[in-house]
A and B are shown apart, each in its own frame.
Chain A
Amino acid sequence: GESVGLHLPTLSVQEGDNSIINCAYSNSASDYFIWYKQESGKGPQFIIDIRSNMDKRQGQRVTVLLNKTVKHLSLQIAATQPGDSAVYFCAEKCWAHFCAGGTSYGKLTFGQGTILTVHP
């Protein structure tokens, strides 16, 4: 079935470096993508989202890039800080009334997750 996955399960960086977390998605009908951060013992926390009609969106220290041609999503974190250490998930959503691949309308489908460790 359709799935959302990550290329790298772990990423280790030094404080102050920039981090890039990648994600591949397979449902071409998905039209909305989200990055979540999940710290130990907590639920996922929204970071940034992007619609399929965009290829880049910037937030505070974070940028999401979307390449629909190769179905690739990435999260860039500038000047990574120890507080950024967490598991990062990409997720997709389909708002079309009929979504290919069995994804129900509006259902959020998460990928596997990447563990980001920031060393001081």
Chain B
Amino acid sequence: EAGVVQSPRYKIIEKKQPVAFWCNPISGHNTLYWYRQNLGQGPELLIRYENEEAVDDSQLPKDRFSAERLKGVDSTLKIQPAELGDSAVYLCASSSGRLSRAYEQYFGPGTRLTVT
């Protein structure tokens, strides 16, 4: 079974430029998460989707970050404009339900973003 797929794996952009990350969750998983992970730190949740609905976006910097999951499957996370402090690894994860236990939350390999 394919795991969570993310692209691109690496992205280098100049500050003030836009950037987008794409995630394809495990087939059948209706819950999708976007995390940001700074170097040496644990992942921090940015947004959680239940199907196409964003049920927790309290940590998403809405002035420059946006996300969508239009058909309740794939998701895109966008930053516009990017700032130097946005350099991090952006992880996508999926699980089969809101009440799923941790072992059911599968992470993708992440997109490493470098803003210069």
Bound CA–CA A8/B109 (angstroms): 25
The minimal Cβ–Cβ distance linking A35 to chain B, given in whole angstroms, is 9
Partner of B44, one of A9, A41, A104, A110: A110
Main secondary structure of the interface of B (DSSP, over half): loop
Q: Which residues of B contact A91 (CB under 8 A)?
A: 42, 102
Are A44 and B99 within 8 A (Cβ)?
no
Residue in A46, A49, A104, A111 whose beta carbon sits within 8 Å of that of B42 in the complex: A111
Q: Chain B nearest CB: distance from A94 CB in Å?
A: 12
Q: Is the CB of A106 within 8 A of B99?
A: yes
A67 within 8 A of B: no
Segment 77-94 of A: residues with Cβ below 8 Å from B? 89, 91, 93
B109 near A44: Cβ-Cβ < 8 Å:
no
A107 engages B103 (CB within 8 Å)? no
**Please, which residues of chain B bring their CB within 8 A of the CB of A112?**
40-42
Q: Which residues of A sit under 8 angstroms from B45, Cβ to Cβ?
A: 107-108
The CA-CA distance from A12 to B53 in the complex, in Å, is 44
Cross-chain contact A108 with B4 (CB below 8 angstroms): no
Q: Is B56 in the interface zone, CB < 8 Å from A?
A: yes
Q: Does A43 sit within 8 A of B, measured CB to CB?
A: yes
Residues of A near B108 (CB, < 8 A) are 43
Given contacts A110-B44, A112-B40, A112-B42, contact A46 B99 (CB under 8 A): no
Residues of A within 8 A of B4 (CB): 43
A20 vs B48: C-alpha distance when bound (angstroms) = 32
Known: A43-B108, A43-B109. A113 touches B101 (CB 8 A): no
- Contact between chains at B109 and A113 (CB < 8 Å): no
What are 25 A-B pairs at a CB distance below 8 A?
Answer: A4-B42, A32-B101, A32-B102, A34-B103, A41-B110, A42-B109, A42-B110, A43-B91, A43-B93, A43-B110, A44-B43, A45-B107, A46-B103, A49-B102, A91-B102, A104-B56, A106-B99, A107-B48, A108-B45, A108-B105, A110-B42, A110-B43, A112-B42, A113-B40, A113-B41
